[in-house]
Amino acid sequence: MLLSALDRLFAPAPGAALGWLKGARVAHRGLHGETVVENSPAAFAAAAAHGLAIECDVQLTSDGEAVVFHDFTLERLTAEAGLVLDRSAAELAQIRYRASAETIPTLAQFLAQVGGRVPLLIEVKSQADWDWARLCAAVARGLAGYVGPAAVMSFDPRVGSWFAAHAPQVVRGLVASEEHSRGWWGDLRRHWALWRSRAQFLAYDVRDLPSRFAAAQRARGLPVATWTVRDPALFPVASANADALIAEGSIIA
């Protein structure tokens, strides 16, 4: 099978290097809830205290740093508006969340806080016309001296490709969903993204499980995490079809 051979060539299974991912329970954006904001220091502290792995999101600042924040804009979680990319790391450090006195942490602050206690999955946010490579470089700088299990992942296969070329010691994954790309054409696009990203694991949309594509990659040794498991009804299918659960709410608590 040509596609299977190309999968093995461009995205070989990582072997024991990702043993920490198998069986992991990962707190999506930290252990957050009504009184704890997502991707905040309090959410990360709560997750680490419970021994949970942590998934977080990173964005690029105007001065080329990486900050931990999910949205491309500020208004959902803060009283400010506009693009994260238009603010410097110092400016963002002064912006409080609506529901907390905490402010937006840098990746460096996040890594220092966790300090290798629990595994990390760092999603690198990207858009087609943004300087994604500059963000990759900022993340690589942050992880260069980090001691502890950590990996980067992204929907954008260019991110994995960048790390494979410039920081191959960093474990890299491909985030995937079949929501808008089904059928044979969708499968082909996923293979192409896998090859381009040089991914060592997949983070797969739980709504698409079971998936023929994800199952084939898992069968040949590529770990599969699944996101975001919020509904208890999805727990059995997630557990049966993935090696790690990225979850929140009652599932992770």
pLDDT in tens, the chain (253 residues): 789 999 999 999 998 889 999 999 999 999 999 889 999 999 999 999 999 999 999 999 999 999 999 999 999 999 999 999 999 999 999 999 998 999 999 999 999 999 999 999 999 999 888 899 999 999 999 999 999 999 999 999 999 999 999 999 999 999 999 998 888 899 999 999 999 999 999 999 999 999 999 999 999 999 999 999 999 999 999 999 999 999 998 888 7
What domains lie within the chain, and their CATH numbers?
A: 25-247 (3.20.20.190)
Q: Is the pTM of this model over 0.95?
A: yes
pLDDT at 35: 87
Residue partners of 118: CB distance under 8 A and separation at least 6: 47, 48, 51, 52, 53, 54, 148
- 56-59's contacts with Cβ under 8 Å and 24+ in sequence apart are 56/29, 56/30, 56/110, 56/120, 56/121, 56/122, 56/123, 57/29, 57/122, 57/123, 57/125, 58/107, 58/122, 58/123, 58/124, 58/125, 58/135, 58/138, 58/139, 59/84, 59/85, 59/125, 59/135
Running DSSP on this structure, what letter comes out for residue 126?
-
pLDDT at 109: 98
pLDDT at 99: 85
Helix (H, G, I), strand (E, B) or coil at 203: strand
